[in-house]
């Protein structure tokens, strides 16, 4: 009995030690986040897209969806500068969920109202964060887009420009890629999102709660489609794959998603 009691004491001590370490890590993450994101004023002439992809533990998936729909997104839609948000569900092998938030500019993510909800999350947010898996999160400038409307499905092409070939790649997307897809009668809108150099580099407090660093993107080419199959088929053609390479783009990942919900700003 004495040995059993001693074992329980050791377990309790170890648990308390782990809790203390986790609290210290979270406090450090909060302090670093606030220090790094307030050191310079972030401004951009481009609209901003906050790009998020993640898997979620199946044991909380139903609760996760309810929380995301009724609390998480709506909380952000009440912050000045957030314009809209969309949620998507994967159609193939990729992170199960994707969310994109449209903001007036990237500095919106550097304002106190937004940072406060990251540093002081709701109880349900605290519960959900440790269940996120394979997280991708980046603040991006929408440097170019063509087309209007909302597509029910989307292809997300994550890529990176070769050093020194950034403008060459942008010209290819605008002058060659978009016209080809427009002629194929499958596309609603095409957009280029480039990871912001001024916001998003600092790990957010949410990363500490999730337990692993988020993956960042470099560029995202976002195809909003009304004929997903035609869009995917065109992208898979060897000549198209070669064209990306010849114009300075390194393809990293491609995934297809279906739109499941949309949200609009709740403040003027």
Nearest to 96 by CA among 136, 53, 125: 53
The residue range of the domain holding 204 is 2-264
Q: What domain count does the chain have?
A: 1
Count CA within 13 A, CB hemisphere, residue 245: 5
The tokens for 111 are: 């304002």
Give dist(CA 196, CA 93) in Å, integer.
Answer: 27
Distance CA 186, CA 16 (A): 57
CATH number at residue 174: 3.30.70.100
Determine contact, residues 235/145, Cβ cutoff 8 Å: no
The distance of Cα 97 from the centroid of its chain, to the nearest Å, equals 10
Q: What is the pLDDT of residues 69-122, one digit of tens each?
A: 999 999 999 999 999 999 999 999 899 999 999 999 999 999 999 999 999 999
C-alpha torsion 100→263→223→63, nearest 10: 60
Give CA 255 to chain center in angstroms: 14
**What's the confidence (pLDDT) of residue 17?**
53
Distance, in Å, from the CA atom of 50 to the CA atom of 2, rounded to the nearest integer, reads 56
Per-residue pLDDT of the chain (268 residues), as tens digits, is: 555 455 545 455 554 554 544 444 444 444 443 443 333 334 558 999 999 999 999 999 999 999 999 999 999 999 999 999 999 999 998 999 999 999 999 999 999 999 999 999 999 999 999 999 999 999 999 999 999 999 999 999 999 999 999 999 999 999 999 999 999 999 999 999 999 987 766 678 889 899 999 999 999 999 999 999 999 999 999 999 999 999 999 999 999 999 999 999 987 6
């Amino acid at each position: 009995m004495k040995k059993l009691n001693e074992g329980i004491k050791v377990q309790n001590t170890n648990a308390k030690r782990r809790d203390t370490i986790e609290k210290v890590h979270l406090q450090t993450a909060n302090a670093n986040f606030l220090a790094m994101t307030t050191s310079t004023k972030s401004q951009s002439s481009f609209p901003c897209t906050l790009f998020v992809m993640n898997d979620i533990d199946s044991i909380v998936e139903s609760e996760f969806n309810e929380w995301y729909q009724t609390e998480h997104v709506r909380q952000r839609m009440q912050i000045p500068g957030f314009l809209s948000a969309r949620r998507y569900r994967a159609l193939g092998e990729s992170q199960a969920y994707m969310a994109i938030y449209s903001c007036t500019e990237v500095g919106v993510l550097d304002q106190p109202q937004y940072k406060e909800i990251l540093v002081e999350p709701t109880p349900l947010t605290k519960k959900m964060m440790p269940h996120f898996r394979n997280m991708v999160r980046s603040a991006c400038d929408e440097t170019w887009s063509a087309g209007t409307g909302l597509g029910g499905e989307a292809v997300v092409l994550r890529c990176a420009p070769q050093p020194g070939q950034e403008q060459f790649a942008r010209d290819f997307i605008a002058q060659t890629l978009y016209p080809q897809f427009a002629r194929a009668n499958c596309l609603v809108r095409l957009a280029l999102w480039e990871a912001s150099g001024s916001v998003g580099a600092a790990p957010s407090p949410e990363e500490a709660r999730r337990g692993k660093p988020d993956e960042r993107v470099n560029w995202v080419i976002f195809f909003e489609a009304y004929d997903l199959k035609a869009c995917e088929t065109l992208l898979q053609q060897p000549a198209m794959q070669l064209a990306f390479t010849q114009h300075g783009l390194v393809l990293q990942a491609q995934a297809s998603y279906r739109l499941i919900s949309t949200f609009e700003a709740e403040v003027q």
